[in-house]
Amino acid sequence: MLWALNRRTKGEALFDTLNTLAMIIICFLTLYPIWYVLVNAFNDGSDAMSGGIYWWPREFSLDNFKAVFASPGIMTAMGITVAKTVIGTAVHVFFTAMVAYALSRRDLIGGKIYILIGTVTLFFGGGLIPTFLLIRDLHLLDNFLVYIIPAMFSFFDLIIFMTFFREIPSGLEEAARIDGANDWSIFLRVVLPVSLPVIATISLFHGVYQWNDYFTGMIYINNTDLQPIQTYLYRVVAQSSSNQMVAAVQGSGVTKTVTSQSIKLATMVVTTLPIVFVYPFLQKYFVKGMMIGSIKG
């Protein structure tokens, strides 16, 4: 019996070791590409063309980032991205939460029909051409509101909101109604303040979407002054001639040691870091929000 117990203990130890090793390998495969981009972004562009840079910059340089910020239009694109991320996320969260609160009421007439209609939209869409025609007819082409209005509502996010709202004790609403509060007062003063976990979760989801969205600017925006940073990054990555990019940078008088590839890597870092810095501030709400509906008491 002791032999069997000892054998089982050794088997569990071996399993734990293999599990830890597998996690380390997965973490390495996940994080190393990010580290590789950082290392090469901070390395001299001309030197990086010779290759062999894997762990540390061989010739540390900030010229790539100077070239990125000296490029015409990048600060405007960054401002558009920040504006559409902040405004779009706030509008999306408020509007989706408002609809979700109404549908979370079990006494809502036709509530099941509305939910059924919304569920269909999760599986079927109009397609790119009908959507483009709709955006055109709404006069949203080359309009900043094209980033806000089409993304105001998401039925998937509504389901998360609705699940959370249904777990709020009904006694809170009843107490508010006794004090004379109407539906708007209950929603704004009772429901939203106790819904910080789900609000932070949806804000993070939609904020990342708004920040990373390049497709909207590429399809619906022709005015370069209204294009976000991700569309700018797309145009940088899609440059067919590296000499053209280097010539433009040299003409600006910033540096002569950058290349098209080094500018791409530096632009990736510039466009990625701001949204990464948001995660630590929302993490405590994010974990709790992700568990919505998973435990029934």
Sign of the C-alpha dihedral, residues 158, 160, 163, 166?
negative
Listed residue (53, 79, 58) closest to 144, CA to CA: 79
The pLDDT of residue 31 is 79
pLDDT tens for each residue of 119-156: 888 888 778 888 889 888 988 888 899 999 998 988 88
Give how far the C-alpha of residue 16 lies from the chain's centroid of Cα atoms, to the nearest Å: 34
- Kindly tell me if the per-residue pLDDT of 283 is higher than 60: yes
The pLDDT of residue 293 is 47
178-195: average pLDDT: 82
Q: How far apart are CA 272 and CA 212, in angstroms?
A: 9
- Whether this prediction's pTM lies above 0.85 is answered by no
Report, in angstroms and rounded to the nearest whole number, the Rg of the chain calculated over CA atoms. 25
The pLDDT of residue 88 is 92
Tell me the residue type at 147: Y
Higher pLDDT: 186 or 148? It is 148
SS (H, E, C) 216-283: HHHHHCCCHHHCCHHHHHHHHHCCCCHHHHHHHHHHCCCCCCCCHHHHHHHHHHHHHHHHHHHHHHHH
pLDDT band at 93 (very low <50, low <70, confident <90, very high): very high
- Tokens at 238, concatenated: 């899609």
pLDDT band at 236 (very low <50, low <70, confident <90, very high): low
The pLDDT of residue 109 is 82
Mean confidence (pLDDT) of the chain: 77
Q: How far apart are CA 36 and CA 45, in angstroms?
A: 14
Q: Is 213 helix (H, G, I), strand (E, B) or coil?
A: coil
Which are the contacts of 290, defined by CB distance < 8 A and separation ≥ 6? 201
Sign of the C-alpha dihedral, residues 245, 248, 250, 253?
negative
Q: How far apart are CA 170 and CA 178, in angstroms?
A: 13
The pLDDT of residue 95 is 93
Q: How far apart are CA 142 and CA 133, in angstroms?
A: 14
The pLDDT of residue 5 is 46
Q: Is 153 helix (H, G, I), strand (E, B) or coil?
A: coil
